Amino acid sequence: MAARRLTGAARSRLNARRYAGRMQGDADNVRMFRSGVHPCGYWQDREARDLVLDPRDPRLPALYPLALSWGFRRSGDILYRPSCPGCQACTAVRIPVAAFAPDRSQRRCLARNADVHARIIAPVRTDEHLALYRKYLTRRHPDGGMDDHGALEFEQFLVGRWNDGRFLELREDGSHRLLALAVTDVVPDALSAVYTCYDPDAGARGLGTLAILRQLEWARRDGRAHLYLGYWIAGHAKMDYKRRFRPLEGFDGHGWRPLLSGPAR
């Protein structure tokens, strides 16, 4: 997910408090509301809105797997899905783990990073994590609305209070240098790739691709059916990397359908 898009999700958190009293429903139903209109984080000439699950609902941890299957995404403690007037460009996507096999380019990425090891740890922020996150935002997403993020924003945006999350670290053998950090949520039958940041000085390694490949290996080891990748937009340069993981399924508002199949060459 591009950093600019998350500015809208941050607005949704504010709107969640603002509109909480207007939510309709009862204790047996999942309550939702629409955020206020805000600038689209992907297209400068468009406006966006989000459909948000009631952030006060104590059932959010139990609802999370179902929400993912409905095309929702987590940002901090908020579960949201784009619901924009006159636009349906954002498509929730996921990879069916058992059917995935790396293509030629992805195999080269794995070979190029044979000196990088992955470690799955509890989601406890360190100074090293925060420094990498800030360096990534400054270099890769300047003026994206997150340039001033510090420890508090890191916790609020990435860690969350009710989800079952992990940090996937990618470190260089020998030096043990932290190259990438992939924030990953765990649900019974899937993993959700929440956010990945990496060292811009090691960009030639293809660390974004490597992080997804390692998450897929993790999901396969654990016998999980899917890896959720958030939203994909056809024709958007920042989203193009997601179409390289095939087969890829997309949520059409009613169910999951094959979106892209066959190897990406």
Architecture of domain 94-260: 3-Layer(aba) Sandwich (3.40)
User: Considering the chain, what is the average pLDDT of its residues?
Assistant: 87
State what percent of residues in the chain have pLDDT above 70: 84
C-alpha dist (Å) from residue 73 to 9, 37, 45, 93: 10, 18, 23, 11
- pLDDT tops 90 at residue 184: yes
According to DSSP, the β-strands at 226-232 and 190-198 are: parallel
Q: What pLDDT is attached to residue 10?
A: 46
Whole-structure pTM value:
0.87
Instruction: Produce one character per residue of 87-109: b if its CB has 16 or more CB atoms within 10 Å, e if not.
Output: bebbbbbbbebeebebbeebeeb
Q: What pLDDT is attached to residue 11?
A: 41
- pLDDT tops 80 at residue 179: yes
Dist. CA 167–CA 159, nearest whole Å: 9
- pLDDT tops 90 at residue 142: no
């925060």: which residue's tokens? 130
- 104-112 and 207-221 helices, crossing angle to 10°: 100
Cβ atoms within 10 Å, residue 71: 23
Dist. CA 113–CA 106, nearest whole Å: 11
Q: What pLDDT is attached to residue 148?
A: 62
Give 95-122 pLDDT, tens digit per residue: 999 999 999 999 999 999 999 999 999 9
User: Binning pLDDT at 50, 70 and 90, where does residue 71 land?
Assistant: very high
Tell me, letter by letter, the H, E, C secondary structure of the chain: CCCCHHHHHHHHHHHHHHHHHHCCCCCCCCCEEECCCEECCCCCCCEECEEEECCCCCCHHHHHHHHHHCCCEEECCEEEEECCCCCCCCEEEEEEHHHCCCCHHHHHHHHHCCCEEEEEECCCCCHHHHHHHHHHHHHHCCCCCCCCCCHHHHHHHHHCCCCCEEEEEEEECCCCCEEEEEEEEEECCEEEEEEEEECHHHHHHCHHHHHHHHHHHHHHHCCCCEEEEEEECCCCHHHHHHHHCCCEEEECCCCEEEEECCCCC
Q: What pLDDT is attached to residue 150?
A: 75
Tell me the residue type at 212. Answer: I
Within 8 A by CB and 6+ apart from 63, the residues are 30, 53, 57, 79
Q: What average pLDDT does the segment 137-148 reach?
A: 66
Q: Start-end ranges of CATH 3.40.630.30 in the chain? A: 94-260
Side-chain-side CA neighbours of residue 176 (13 Å)? 1
- pLDDT tops 90 at residue 18: no
Which of 126, 118, 194 has its CA nearest to residue 163? 194
Give 190-236 pLDDT, tens digit per residue: 999 999 999 999 989 999 999 999 999 999 999 999 999 999 998 88
Q: What average pLDDT does the segment 135-154 reach?
A: 74
Dist. CA 198–CA 182, nearest whole Å: 8
